[in-house]
């Protein structure tokens, strides 16, 4: 067993990670190949939320939901550019948490690291339950809880074997999602313009974007309502910066992922929603009843569209579970290495796998699954709401961290600044304003208010713990220094 401290208790803002220093090793193995990283980068922004939740967004904003996706997509592009700048210069398994530790202080790295870990542990429960529902509908003889258990055990095993087994599973899971959405966009566009042989769709071109109450049937304000409904389906874009630390060429992997994020969002999010809105009127009852993608496929005349989408959604769920477990464990590993979590989390086995970090994340995931079955409307709903706005908190911290890290990188290793945020610092501040506006606007929304307030409550508790720990460590250091001086 090897153990690494990425940044121990004495770590100071501006000091490089141990992993960045010559001759040090964090114990993790470079088991992810370029094709793994490429597919993780491409598929990372595609979650089950895109397939399942887009219908509600279309119903709330009409065709204007395209502008909602475009606004959030722009925000994610900027955030990923900032994160890419830092990750290319200093690849780390803790990613933005490690950078916040260096740039803003240990309290910031501790707080955002644990909040992010909490977010993904809750996601494990959500996705395990969603996958179990689909599997139970196929094999009713096996109860839903058993399917959730089976799915969690299988993916835990793949993560425990090696990082390359995680990468291989994710390569195929993400590949199926990418091919499915790519095929959906191509076939859908052919049907939209009447070029698809045998299609049941009349091929009305772009008419459906305006023929039912115009492009803004619910008014321009509905764009912001749509933003609240789609923003969380983008969470996960940052996973590639954590995974890059276990690849052979982290800098190149981060550069490719950062540069490709624009077309990924354009094709997979805007492209697929555009196809749905041009194949059907936005208020077609089937969009909410069957789901936007199934409704679109049915309008073309694709047989067994529901079953086809079930397979794709299950793949997206398994992919999200696989990556969620990987991400939570690597964040726990990084926290352990910096002295912000039990030291056992920072130990790796002979295969370079942080076994304790994986198993602890899974245990909490199983507990959350139990809560979902035992108290779905009370305890589990609290977990959901209290982690709901964490995505936005993470993006805010990335922005503030990058403001400070640019100067640190230029001062200590300017040659590593190979990815740069555009129009720095103006676009960084503009992104901070955009994210802050979304958070404030959520407080005016009945469904969003509880998420923001509960997430703020949990964040306040975690930050308070971080500050208390910092004060105690300083006092302990001062006492030790006094005792040394007296001696």
| CA atoms of 233 and 50, how far apart (whole Å) | 6
**Residue ranges of E strands in 367-440:** none
Question: Mean pLDDT per 10-residue run, the chain (487 residues)?
Answer: 38 43 53 79 71 85 94 92 91 87 92 93 86 90 89 89 86 88 92 88 88 91 86 80 79 80 86 93 90 90 86 87 88 91 89 90 88 84 84 93 94 91 95 93 84 91 93 75 56
Q: Which of 97, 35, 46, 79 is nearest to 253 (CA)?
A: 35
User: Which pLDDT belongs to residue 200?
Assistant: 84
Q: State how far the Cα of 367 lies from the Cα of 364, in Å rounded to an integer.
A: 5
Q: What is the pLDDT of residue 478?
A: 60
Residue 155 and residue 144: Cα distance in Å, rounded?
A: 17
Q: What are the φ/ψ torsions at residue 24 (nearest 5 degrees)? A: -95, 155
| φ and ψ of 3, to 5 deg | -130, 140
- What pLDDT score does 409 carry? 94
pLDDT at res. 402: 96
E strands present in 188-259 = none
pTM metric for this prediction: 0.86
Give which of 171, 161, 165 is closest to 354, Cα–Cα: 161
Q: Three-state SS for 212?
A: coil
Task: Confirm if 112 and 97 have CB atoms less than 8 A apart.
Answer: yes
Two tokens, residue 221: 């304000």
Tell me how crowded residue 418 is: count the other CB atoms within 10 A of its CB. 13
Q: Which residues of 353-377 are buried (b: 16+ CB within 10 A; e: fewer)?
A: bbbbbbbbbbebbbebbebbeeeee
Residue 3, classed as helix, strand or coil, is strand
The count of other CB atoms within 10 Å of the CB of residue 190 is 17
Closest CA to 456 of 378, 364, 401, 388: 388
d(C-alpha 241, C-alpha 83), whole Å: 8
């Amino acid at each position: 067993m090897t153990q690494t401290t990425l940044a121990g208790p004495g770590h100071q803002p501006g000091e490089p990670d141990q992993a960045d220093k010559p001759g040090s090793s964090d114990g993790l193995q470079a088991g992810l190949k370029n094709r793994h990283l490429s597919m993780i980068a491409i598929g990372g922004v595609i979650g089950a939320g895109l397939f399942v939740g887009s219908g509600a967004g279309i119903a709330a904003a009409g065709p204007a939901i395209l502008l909602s996706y475009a606004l959030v997509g722009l925000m994610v592009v900027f955030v990923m550019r900032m994160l890419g700048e830092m990750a290319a210069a200093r690849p780390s398994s803790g990613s933005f948490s490690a950078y916040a530790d260096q740039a803003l202080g240990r309290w910031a790295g501790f707080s955002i690291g644990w909040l992010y870990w909490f977010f993904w542990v809750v996601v494990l429960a959500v996705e395990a339950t969603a996958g179990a529902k689909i599997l139970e509908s196929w094999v009713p003889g096996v109860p839903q809880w058993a399917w959730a258990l089976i799915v969690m055990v299988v993916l835990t095993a793949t993560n425990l074997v090696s990082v390359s087994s995680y990468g291989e599973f994710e390569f195929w899971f993400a590949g199926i999602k990418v091919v499915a959405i790519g095929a959906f966009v191509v076939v859908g566009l052919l049907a939209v313009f009447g070029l698809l042989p045998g299609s049941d769709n009349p091929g009305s071109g772009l008419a459906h974007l305006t023929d039912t109450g115009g492009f803004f049937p619910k008014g321009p304000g509905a764009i912001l309502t749509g933003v609240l409904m789609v923003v969380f389906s983008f969470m996960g874009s940052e996973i590639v910066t954590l995974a890059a630390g276990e690849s052979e060429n982290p800098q190149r992997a981060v550069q490719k992922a950062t540069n490709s994020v624009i077309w990924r969002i354009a094709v997979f999010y805007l492209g697929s929603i555009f196809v749905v809105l041009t194949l059907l009127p936005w208020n077609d009852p089937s969009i909410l009843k069957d789901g936007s993608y199934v409704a679109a496929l049915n309008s073309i005349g694709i047989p067994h569209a529901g079953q086809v989408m079930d397979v794709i959604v299950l793949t997206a769920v398994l992919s999200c579970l696989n990556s969620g477990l990987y991400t939570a464990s690597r964040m726990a590993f990084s926290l352990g290495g910096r002295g912000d979590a039990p030291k056992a989390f920072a130990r790796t086995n002979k295969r370079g796998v942080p076994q304790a970090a994986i198993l602890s994340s899974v245990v909490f995931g199983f507990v959350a699954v139990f809560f979902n079955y035992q108290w779905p409307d009370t305890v589990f709903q609290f977990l959901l709401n209290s982690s709901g706005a964490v995505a936005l908190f993470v993006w805010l911290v990335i922005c503030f961290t990058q403001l400070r890290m640019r100067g640190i990188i230029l001062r200590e290793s300017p040659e590593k600044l190979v990815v740069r945020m555009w129009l720095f610092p103006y676009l960084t501040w503009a992104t901070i304003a955009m994210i802050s506006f979304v958070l404030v606007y959520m407080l005016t929304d009945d469904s969003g208010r509880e998420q923001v307030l509960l997430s703020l409550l949990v964040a306040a508790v975690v930050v308070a713990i971080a500050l208390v720990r910092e004060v105690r460590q300083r006092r302990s250091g001062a006492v030790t220094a006094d005792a040394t001086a007296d001696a």
